[in-house]
A and B are shown apart, each in its own frame.
Chain A
């Protein structure tokens, strides 16, 4: 592992994004628009206070998942990955470079969406703002890690985008976003209990319901961080120097 190569990789990925203005606008604009829409569709501040923060966590996860899985798939199909694999670049250098670049992007995204939500839309957050930013950053990194991992199983960009609904949508259904987890059938609850998104939603709920940082919130943060590291390691295992 090399810090220089990791930083160079992150800088390279950010340069790629910088050249792609439309993608940047979409990354920030789509979640902002959805939050505004949610606020006025619900039209009740207490309902918005309940769902708003959860969506704030789900957006960066979904967006970073899609962006990362397409970016790494391109890296695999364009031959740049093969080129890098003949160079002194460690697999972790590449993965951490992606995590760093998209982590920074996610922070900008969440910074803007959270500002809009907390001011204009009047979102009422009882917990500290830094905890909200930390959670959304973790959510983004989880999205990056899952995107890296799933891209290994996609042969085309058509397949890669399908992994988003396949991996993320069932999680949003099971995460307690719509129906609380303890009201689900036992088998479904078991599944929900091992899915990382459940802990993200729970953490966001803690944050909206309680001032300060609760023990449950810390546990949720630890679980999400653990899942992110696990997914990154699985992603690293899918990067091979030698292929058939």
Chain B
């Protein structure tokens, strides 16, 4: 259990009178890239909000880096990028990063480091409002990288990016994981799933599969993950660990 960065036990969340998460249990091992996949509206974002500790939960526990999610001591150790880019549109990219770096107490120069990591160095003096959608989401991702967090929670970080950039970002994710960072990355694109070490497939507030991409293909006998996902839904069974 010491090696699990995220431990979720029977997590239930209701939003606006509707049950969004219906009893999730899973773990995320240290230094891995875990993909959170499922159709839009299945509860991926809610789950990520619960992990970073900004979601009011109904029952169950979420433990992150050995402490309850949202614990004060975790605020330096987790990087979070929401699905919609959360940066100040009326500041330049660099001003945005400098501000968040100051809040995190990250070293000077960290702003420039993360901008280079996401390939946004050339746009550092541009106002965030003038960035393209893809640049904006990379700026938001850069904020999450500030201060070298141990856990990165990224909600659809590659939306709107061309395949080359997407490939580069996934390389970055694996490089970070190689250095011991744990990543929980959501996506609804199946070709990204193959790049994860472990997959959590979600549907209607439940985890319907928790396994490696290879194991999922084997168990279902499907050629690709899209097909594997469909097979799991059809069988209506849970594959992998409970």
A binds B: yes
Chain A residues with a Cβ under 8 A of chain B:
4-5, 8-9, 11-12, 15-16, 19-20, 78-80, 82-89, 241-244
With CB as the reference atom, state the residue of chain B lying closest to A82. B54
CB atoms of A12 and B86 under 8 A apart: no
Beyond A85-B54, A241-B54, 15 additional contacts (C-beta under 8 Å) are: A5-B102, A19-B90, A78-B84, A78-B86, A79-B85, A80-B87, A82-B82, A83-B100, A86-B54, A87-B103, A87-B104, A89-B103, A241-B53, A242-B56, A244-B15
Q: Chain B residues with Cβ under 8 A from A8's Cβ?
A: 99, 102-103
Q: What's the nearest-Cβ distance from chain A to residue B55, in Å?
A: 6
Q: Chain A residues with Cβ under 8 A from B70's Cβ?
A: 241-242
Choose from B15, B89, B91, B105 the contact partner of A88 (Cβ within 8 Å): B105
Q: Say yes or no: is B219 at the interface (Cβ < 8 Å to chain A).
A: no
CB atoms of A80 and B103 under 8 A apart: no
10 sampled A-B residue pairs with Cβ under 8 A: A8-B99, A8-B103, A12-B88, A15-B95, A19-B92, A79-B86, A83-B82, A88-B76, A88-B104, A241-B70
CB atoms of B90 and A16 under 8 A apart: yes
Distance in angstroms between the alpha carbons of A82 and B15 in the assembled complex: 17
Contact with A along B103-114 (1 / 0, CB 8 A): 111000000000
Chain B residues with a Cβ under 8 A of chain A:
15-16, 52-56, 70, 72, 75-76, 78, 80, 82, 84-92, 95, 99-100, 102-105, 127, 143
Choose from A4, A87, A244 the contact partner of B100 (Cβ within 8 Å): A87
Q: What's the nearest-Cβ distance from chain B to residue A241, in Å?
A: 6
Choose from B91, B102, B105 the contact partner of A19 (Cβ within 8 Å): B91
Q: Chain B residues with Cβ under 8 A from A82's Cβ?
A: 54, 82, 86
With CB as the reference atom, state the residue of chain A lying closest to B78. A86
Distance in angstroms between the alpha carbons of A9 and B88 in the assembled complex: 12
Choose from B84, B89, B103 the contact partner of A84 (Cβ within 8 Å): B103
Q: Chain A residues with Cβ under 8 A from B82's Cβ?
A: 79, 82-83
A-B complex: 8 closest residue pairs judged by Cβ atoms: A79-B86, A8-B102, A88-B75, A12-B99, A83-B86, A16-B90, A86-B52, A79-B82
With CB as the reference atom, state the residue of chain B lying closest to A80. B86
Q: Chain A residues with Cβ under 8 A from B54's Cβ?
A: 82, 85-86, 241-243
CB atoms of B90 and A4 under 8 A apart: no
Q: What's the nearest-Cβ distance from chain B to residue A77, in Å?
A: 10
CB < 8 Å A-B pair total: 77
Q: What's the nearest-Cβ distance from chain A to residue B49, in Å?
A: 8
Q: Chain A residues with Cβ under 8 A from B16's Cβ?
A: 244
Distance in angstroms between the alpha carbons of A15 and B127 in the assembled complex: 11
Q: Chain B residues with Cβ under 8 A from A20's Cβ?
A: 90
Q: Chain B residues with Cβ under 8 A from A241's Cβ?
A: 53-54, 70
Q: What's the nearest-Cβ distance from chain A to residue B97, in Å?
A: 11
Distance in angstroms between the alpha carbons of A110 and B201 in the assembled complex: 58
Q: Chain B residues with Cβ under 8 A from A88's Cβ?
A: 72, 75-76, 103-105
Q: Chain A residues with Cβ under 8 A from B80's Cβ?
A: 83, 86
Distance in angstroms between the alpha carbons of A244 and B49 in the assembled complex: 10
CB atoms of A12 and B55 under 8 A apart: no
Distance in angstroms between the alpha carbons of A226 and B54 in the assembled complex: 32
Distance in angstroms between the alpha carbons of A12 and B56 in the assembled complex: 29
Distance in angstroms between the alpha carbons of A79 and B100 in the assembled complex: 13
Distance in angstroms between the alpha carbons of A239 and B84 in the assembled complex: 20
Distance in angstroms between the alpha carbons of A148 and B166 in the assembled complex: 39
Distance in angstroms between the alpha carbons of A87 and B81 in the assembled complex: 12
Q: What's the nearest-Cβ distance from chain B to residue A94, in Å?
A: 10
Choose from A5, A11, A12, A78 the contact partner of B89 (Cβ within 8 Å): A78
Distance in angstroms between the alpha carbons of A83 and B15 in the assembled complex: 20
Distance in angstroms between the alpha carbons of A82 and B55 in the assembled complex: 10
Q: Chain A residues with Cβ under 8 A from B75's Cβ?
A: 86-88
With CB as the reference atom, state the residue of chain B lying closest to A84. B103
